[in-house]
Chain A
């Protein structure tokens, strides 16, 4: 009998169907599997059904634990509340106060899943870290491990992975990346996992069903929020249309809930956090050709003046843009005009399904 030990994997389990199936598959594939859930937010103040169906709520921790029991792996709850608040919640709130639309999942991946958990992976003597992301690690044309989009185009989550340190890519496993969601559910059902029929997590885990603006109101004192109230102005005529209760209520491209009794359909075109002005106008003004990308992260080789497929939000189909180095970052010059290029969101670059890198959109 071989005395060589089986490769050991730390699998991040949220209690959802994807990471549960990932863990079960790893067990089936013969790995020595250790499960962990990051407790990231105190849900004691949430209603019972809230959080369930989002990522990592307290009921979800129970689900993760019961899956771990069923597949027979040790399971730990790691308390990351303080880190999560500092790295994810606080910047999320700050972004809205700055008139941006944040992308908290990227920070969670950057500072928790692929930093804190990578450290735990090493400490627990594991060879790999696995998650239930819809993404794939494959060798690229140079034989180097790289991140590729998942088989399921609709669920693909590589958009949230652009900040990963390329050095850790060889240590990552995404067991469900080669499957489509219905197959994942089928597998869960076959294995008798309690989470097989659980609804997909949608939205931002810590916000729940209340909506992000209500969440912000629970976190920021009313006196601070009042300072962010200001004027609603027509773009480009500068006509004053009314007052608003705070720029955190608005996001680029929004047309509902503007509080205007205008006969035409108007959209948020721009949010000016300095003057607290929310500019609204016709849809045509939402379209632009160029975007500025800052704080770039690169996972593979890249080159200037190369055209990449670029996603400017999670559910964006992707559009071709040429990458140009400019002062303070990179300019993305799109072949076709794009709708609602939103500061605070990420621009993520791909080449033949391979994740090349990305950065934050700034205006």
Chain B
């Protein structure tokens, strides 16, 4: 059975060239904090990667903190800002379609007294600027909006949102995990104060990422410990992870090339699905979107069953976000966009990647068609019986 992976927003497979390099990376095992040769070697490699990433995003190397990934980064930012500014500015604004690591961090500070408000997002993926304008005040500490949505692929106007937040003296935090490696962007152009990144969404190893903290922004450690990351994140560095991230950072220039190819393939996929399967809707198709993401609602099809049926045929896709699989609740993101529970439960997310071929997409379309027809006919049967 052919295995086809179409869940790149969940995680990405290891880059094939990176995979070949990893055995060499394993020779770099010294503790970067050590002053001897073993430590110096890894220390200088990490610093080189820090400089290289900084250059790619137009920022200073001192603004990068290596950590375990997006969830840690989001926790660190939100808890930092609340801890430092919470008294003076207890108000926070967060989009209603954020990743659970953002939402749950906000729930955590809410329990400690923060006043957190959710920014509505429309069904087409438009964020409510007027709402933000009406709520922003000198009491607002921070606004959090992600760069791109993991489920629908919607890209939000971060520059304009950050400017708006700054106009009232609020900080701006951006979860950039889904944008990293899918769309070309420069952090300096976004004008954000914090941004979070994860290596495993960009063909590198899991358990590694980095946090951008603009110089001078409030910051306290989430993990206290040794002097790593200029005392901003304790714990011996995940050298293998950082090396893998560094290897992929060298490929950031390829993002623009892949963008066009993947977007064409995604548009081809959607055009065929819409013409060949009745009663399908593409979520948030109107606005700016990641080139690889397609969020579908297949009427009268249970997303969980569809996922299992496709898996049994070798296709890896997702319904809702990967983190919430095994959860009976429909995706909170889709509900926040105004979809009904039923629509959200009939959702399917297809996310393409650098290795995805036209042949794989064609094979997937044919399989999806047959499975949807089957499931709909069974649903029809059970309606008749009941």
A and B from one assembly? yes
The smallest C-beta distance from B276 to any residue of chain A, in angstroms, reads 21
Name the interface residues of B302-332: CB closer than 8 Å to any CB of A: 302, 304-305, 308-309, 311-312, 326-328
Smallest Cβ-Cβ distance to A61: which chain B residue: B326
Question: Which residue on A lies nearest to B379, using beta carbons?
Answer: A123
Are the C-beta atoms of B305 and A120 separated by less than 8 Å? yes
| Set of chain B residues within 8 Å of A82, measured between Cβ atoms | 328
A86 on interface, CB distance cutoff 8 Å: no
User: Contacts A122-B378, A123-B375, A123-B378: A79 and B309 contacting too (C-beta < 8 A)?
Assistant: no
Is B305 touching A34 in the complex (CB atoms < 8 A)?
A: no
Which of B305, B327, B328 lies in contact with A123, CB distance below 8 A? B305
Is A74 in contact with B311, judged by CB distance below 8 angstroms?
A: yes
Neighbouring A residues of B309 by C-beta, 8 Å: 123-125
* Chain B interface SS verdict (over half): helix
Q: Quick check: A79 and B308 within 8 Å, CB to CB?
A: no
Picked from A74, A79, A80, A120, the residue with its CB within 8 Å of the CB of B327 is: A79
Known contacts A74-B311, A124-B308: A81-B328 contact under CB 8 Å: yes
How long is the Cα–Cα vector from A270 to B327 in the complex, in angstroms? 43
CB-CB under 8 A from B382, the residues of chain A are 119
A-facing residues in B359-386 (Cβ within 8 Å): 374-375, 378, 382
A74 touches B305 (CB 8 A): no
From known contacts A81-B328, A119-B382, infer whether A34 and B302 are also in contact, taking CB-CB under 8 Å: no
Are B311 and A39 interface neighbours, CB within 8 A? no
Tell me whether chain A's interface is mostly helix, strand or loop, or mixed: mixed
Shortest CB–CB separation between residue A287 and chain B, in angstroms? 44
Kindly identify, within residues 28 to 73 of chain B, every residue whose CB is under 8 Å from any CB belonging to chain A: none
* A77 close to chain B: CB less than 8 A: yes
Q: CB-CB < 8 A to A326: which residues of B?
A: none
Establish whether residues A124 and B328, one from each chain, have CB atoms under 8 Å apart when the complex forms. no
Q: Please tell me the size bucket of the interface on A.
A: 10 to 19
Interface residues of A in 33-54 (CB under 8 A from B): 34, 39
Beta-carbon nearest neighbor of A122 in chain B: B378
Chain A residue nearest to B325 in the complex (CB): A77
Q: A81-100 toward B: CB 8 Å interface, digit per residue (1/0)?
A: 11000000000000000000
Cross-chain contact A39 with B312 (CB below 8 angstroms): no
Q: What 0/1 readout, one digit per residue, does chain B (97-111) give for beta carbons within 8 Å of chain A?
A: 000000000000000
A204 to chain B, nearest CB (A): 22
The residues of A that contact B327 with a CB separation of less than 8 Å are 79
Residue tally, chain B, CB below 8 Å to A: 14
A207 → chain B closest CB, angstroms: 22
Which residues of the other chain, A, contact B374 by a CB distance below 8 angstroms? 123, 125
Give Cα A266–Cα B374 distance, bound, in whole angstroms: 61
Pairwise interchain contact A79-B302, C-beta atoms closer than 8 A:
no
Q: How far apart are B222's CB and chain A's nearest CB, in angstroms?
A: 24
Instruction: Check B326–A77 contact: CB distance below 8 A.
Output: yes
- Are A78 and B312 in touch, CB under 8 angstroms? no
A231 to chain B, nearest CB (A): 43
Beyond A34-B312, A74-B312, A119-B382, is A124–B305 a contact (Cβ under 8 Å)?
yes
> Min CB distance, B317 to chain A, in Å?
14
| Nearest CB of B to A27, in Å | 15
Name the residue of chain A whose CB is nearest to the CB of B327.
A79
A31: Cβ under 8 A from any B Cβ: no
Q: Which B residues touch A120, using CB under 8 A?
A: 305
Contacts of A125 in B (CB 8 A): 309, 312, 374
CA separation between A77 and B302, bound complex, in Å? 15
Contact residues of A between 273 and 315, Cβ < 8 Å to B: none
CB distance from A40 to the nearest CB of B (A): 11
| A120-160 interface (Cβ within 8 A of B) | 120, 122-125
List the A side residues contacting B326 at CB < 8 Å. 39, 77, 79
| Distance of A80 Cα from B374 Cα, bound (Å) | 23
The complex places the Cα of A231 from the Cα of B378 at a distance, in Å, of 54
Q: A212 contacts the other chain (Cβ, under 8 Å)?
A: no
Q: Find residues 259-315 in chain B having any chain A CB closer than 8 Å to their own CB.
A: 302, 304-305, 308-309, 311-312
Distance from A298 Cβ to chain B, minimum over Cβ atoms (Å): 19
- Bound CA span A39–B326, Å: 8
For A79, give the chain B residue with the smallest CB separation.
B328
Contacts of B375 in A (CB 8 A): 123
Q: A77-B326, A82-B328 are in contact. Are A124 and B304 (CB under 8 A)?
A: no
Q: Which residues of A are found within 8 Å of B304, using beta-carbon distances?
A: 78-79
Query: A76 vs B311: C-alpha distance in the bound complex, in angstroms?
Result: 10
Chain B residues numbered 7-37 whose CB sits less than 8 Å from any CB in chain A: none
User: Shortest beta-carbon distance, B37 to chain A, in Å?
Assistant: 43
Nearest B residue to A81 by beta-carbon distance?
Answer: B328
CB closest chain-A residue, reference B305:
A123
Judge whether B328 and A76 touch: CB under 8 Å.
no
By the criterion CB–CB under 8 Å, are B312 and A124 in contact? yes
Residue of A nearest to B306 (CB): A123
Contact present for B312 and A123 (CB under 8 Å): no
| Chain A residues, CB < 8 A from B312 | 34, 74, 124-125
Chain B residues with CB under 8 Å of chain A are 302, 304-305, 308-309, 311-312, 326-328, 374-375, 378, 382
4 cross-chain pairs, A with B, having the tightest CB-CB distances, nearest first: A79-B328, A123-B305, A77-B326, A76-B308
10 A-B residue pairings within 8 Å (CB atoms): A39-B326, A77-B326, A79-B328, A80-B328, A82-B328, A119-B382, A123-B375, A124-B309, A124-B312, A125-B374
Interface set of A (CB-CB < 8 Å, partner B) = 34, 39, 74, 76-82, 119-120, 122-125
Please give 20 more A-B residue pairs, beta carbons under 8 A apart, in addition to A80-B328, A82-B328: A34-B312, A39-B326, A74-B312, A77-B326, A78-B304, A79-B304, A79-B327, A79-B328, A119-B382, A122-B378, A123-B305, A123-B374, A123-B375, A123-B378, A124-B305, A124-B308, A124-B309, A124-B312, A125-B309, A125-B312
